[in-house]
């Protein structure tokens, strides 16, 4: 665990394990100086690398830095050792919403409260270009005051990962909660697919069972693609109307989040609206408890600060890898794009841009191995820290290394 006597990085005292998965274990922890309770997710780096999940970990870090909201589990910081990655998260001790459902369906006002908070969180995610893609009761936690917290952004996607058709194409999620267009594998709108999953969650809260379920997976997928399900007799009438509009198999006509918020069932009574007013909050203005400023380093900062404690083995390939270079830059996104364009011009390379974070340099003349072609991707980790990836798509490897390592990296003040 890279800790002594249950103390991690001289910052956190680790307690009992509260959860585990294939690649990670989660422990209850306590910040030694502030006494604040946290959850520490410990990820085995070698397992992640062997499973090819490097990009998923990078994306999860990036996403959780973007989505600070009262109903989303907060990421305090990321640390790393030679063998482990540590996510220090908000400690949510009320357990999973799923545990409540093991006792049966919820009362209508409780279901409305949780659904409002879920919609508030997901609306905020979408406004930041983040799509969760694995919404289900197991990923919805409850704090000690009974408020919902969305967790587990491991399968999430960012808007800039959409293809030229403006759609996402990676099929993922939990089969019983996944939208029909995701099953069809023809591309899907991340926001619309999240809304579908929210609809399945609402159905489960009010019915106590899944709308789409079958021992035969293909038959279940057929029901999902047809939007074929039945309400129990006890299901509230106004909620039936809302769920039917959410579980519309056609994403084009499926209800939007803005429309959901205007429906009678969602609004409920005035008394409920006042009592559950936290769902209207878009973003927390201040942290309830803050760790020391010098603790708020993310994994990418650690790369630049220490050889002994870093993630370089995870995020950087061996220097003999001839097709890819990765480095960190403290330049702004605009500054990075501008400098890349300037260098391309000096090398007589044509620049092709896509959405500002994808950029390609192409040679105007063919070399021994064809025209030099380099694909760049820029990931925002924080507003002042970016990960730059350069991939050689074609052309001479010597030219690629010369332009990237001797010109581009120094110009962007690349941090190794």
Per-residue CA distances from 92 to 18, 114, 141, 148 (Å): 11, 15, 7, 9
109 is an active site residue: no
Sheet-wide strand order for 12-20: 3-4, 7-8, 12-20, 24-31, 37-44, 84-90, 75-80
Among 21, 6, 30, smallest CA distance to 291 is for 30
Distances (CA, A) of 350 to 84, 364, 396: 41, 7, 16
Interatomic CA distance for residues 244 and 228, integer angstroms? 10
DSSP β-bridge partners for residue 352:
360
* DSSP string for 283-331: S-SS-SS---GGG---HHHHHHH-SSS--HHHH---TT-SSEEEEEE-S
Residue of 2, 134, 248, 301 marked active site: 134
Tokens (6 digits) for 309: 């404690």
Residue 115 near residue 103 (C-beta atoms within 8 A): no
Contacts of 368 (CB under 8 A, 6+ apart): 396
Tell me phi and psi for residue 38, to 5 degrees. -140, 165
Active site amino acids: 134
């Amino acid at each position: 665990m890279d800790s002594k006597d249950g103390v991690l990085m001289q910052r956190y005292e680790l307690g009992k394990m509260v959860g585990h998965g294939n690649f990670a274990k989660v422990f209850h922890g306590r910040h030694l100086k502030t006494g604040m309770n946290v959850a520490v997710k410990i990820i085995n780096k070698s397992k992640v690398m062997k499973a090819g999940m490097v990009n998923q970990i990078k994306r999860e870090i990036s996403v959780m830095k973007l989505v600070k909201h009262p109903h989303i589990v907060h990421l305090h910081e990321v640390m790393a050792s030679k063998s482990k990655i540590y996510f220090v998260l908000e400690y949510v001790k009320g357990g999973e919403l799923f545990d409540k459902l093991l006792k049966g369906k919820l009362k209508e006002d409780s279901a409305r409260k949780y659904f409002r908070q879920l919609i508030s969180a997901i609306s905020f995610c979408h406004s930041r270009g983040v799509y969760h893609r694995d919404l289900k009761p197991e990923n919805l936690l409850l704090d000690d005051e009974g408020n919902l917290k969305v967790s587990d952004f491991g399968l999430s996607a960012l808007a800039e990962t959409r293809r030229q058709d403006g759609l996402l194409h990676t099929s993922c999620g939990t089969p019983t909660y996944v939208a029909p267009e995701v099953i069809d594998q023809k591309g899907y709108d991340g926001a619309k697919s999240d809304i579908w999953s929210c609809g399945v969650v609402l159905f489960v809260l009010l019915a106590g069972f899944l709308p789409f379920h079958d021992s035969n997976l293909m038959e279940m997928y057929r029901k999902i693609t047809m939007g074929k399900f039945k309400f129990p007799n006890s299901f509230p009438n106004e909620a039936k109307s809302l769920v039917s509009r959410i579980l519309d198999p056609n994403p084009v006509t499926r209800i939007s989040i803005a429309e959901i918020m205007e429906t009678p069932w969602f609004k409920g009574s005035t008394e409920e609206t006042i009592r559950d007013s936290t769902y209207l909050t878009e973003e927390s203005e201040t942290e309830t408890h803050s760790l020391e400023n010098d603790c708020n380093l993310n994994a990418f900062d650690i790369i630049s600060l220490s050889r002994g404690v870093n993630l370089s083995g995870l995020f950087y390939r061996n220097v003999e890898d001839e097709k890819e270079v990765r480095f960190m830059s403290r330049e702004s996104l605009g500054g990075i794009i501008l400098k890349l364009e300037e260098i391309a011009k000096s090398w007589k390379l044509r620049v092709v841009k896509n959405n500002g974070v994808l950029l390609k340099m192409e040679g105007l003349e063919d070399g021994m191995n064809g025209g030099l072609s380099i694909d760049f991707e820029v990931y925002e980790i924080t507003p002042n820290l970016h990960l730059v990836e350069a991939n050689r798509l074609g052309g001479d490897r010597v030219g690629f290394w010369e332009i990237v390592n001797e010109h581009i990296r120094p110009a962007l003040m690349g941090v190794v």
